[in-house]
Amino acid sequence: MIELIKGGLILVGAIFMFLAALGLVRMPDLLTRMHATTKAATLGATLIMLAVALHFGEVAVVARAFGVILFIMMTAPVAAHVIGRAGYFVGSRLWSGTVKDELRPNYDPLTHELKSGLETQENAKRHPRDTDPD
Amino acid sequence: MSTVILLSLALMCLALCLSFVRLFKGPSLPDRVVALELFSSILVGTIGLIAIATDVASLLDVAIVMALMAFMAAIGFARFLERGGARDD
C-alpha cells in the first residue's frame, strides 16, 4: 500500500515538474512563465519530498523532508515576487494579449513614485480628526 | 518501484532540457533567472528521487542546501536587476 502511494506521489510530482518546464517554454511573457513555473515546481518538489518521508519513515528523515517542504513553500512565493517586481521595473515586455496593467498609468519608473489616482488639491490638505492629540 | 523511479527521472530530465531551452533562448535576463530557479526546483526533486532509489537518507541535506542556494541566488539576481547592473540580453 505504502509502495503504491509512494509511486503515485513520485510520478505525479515528476509530471508537475515536467508541466512547469513545458509552461516555461510555451508561455508568452515573463509573468505568465513565472505563473507556470513557481506553483507547479513547488508542488512537484513537495510531492516528491512527501514520497521521501514515506519511504524512509524515520523521525529524523521525516523531519528533514518536512523542513524542505516548509522552506520551499515559504521561499518560492517570495523569490517569485522579487523576480517579478525586478522584471517589471527593468521593463520586460508584457504579452500583446494582456488585458490590464494597472501599474503603468500610475507608476513613474524613473522616480519610483506611485500615484494613488486621488491627487487633487482637496485631498492634498490634511483634515483634522477627532482622534488627533492636542 | 524502480520503473516508476526511472520514468520519473526521465520526465525530470526532459524538464531540465526544456528549461535549458528557455535559459538559452530567454529574451531577457529575468526570464533566464526564472529558468535557473526552475532548474533548482527540479534538482531538489531529483535529489529526493535519488535518495529514495539509493536508500541514502543524508542526501536530503543536499536538497536543503540546494533550495537555500536557489533562494539566495534569486534574491541576489533581483537586487542586481533593480540596482540597474550591466546587462547583455
Domain assignment present for B17: yes
**Overall number of domains in chain A:** 1
Supply the pTM of this predicted model.
0.85
Between B5 and A122, where is the model more confident? B5
Tell me the sheet residues that pair with A107: A114
Q: What does each C-alpha distance from B77 to A24, B70, B80 come to in angstroms?
A: 18, 10, 5
Interface test with A, best of B2, B3, B4, B13 (most A CBs within 10 A): B4
Domain assignment present for A120: no
The SS3 assignment for A108 reads strand
Domain assignment present for B31: yes
A114–chain B Cβ distance below 8 A for any pair: no
Domain assignment present for B24: yes
**Interval B38-75: pLDDT, tens:** 999 999 999 999 999 999 999 999 999 999 999 999 99
Domain assignment present for A39: yes
Q: Which domain holds residue A80?
A: 2-95
Domain assignment present for A134: no
Q: Which three cell numbers stand for residue A6?
A: 509512494
Residue B85 is predicted with a pLDDT of 67
For A39-50, what is the mean pLDDT?
A: 93
- Looking up residue A53, the CATH number of its domain turns out to be 1.10.287
**Greatest C-alpha distance within chain A:** 72
**Overall number of domains in chain B:** 1
Q: Which domain holds residue B13?
A: 2-82
Question: Amino acid identity of A116?
Answer: S
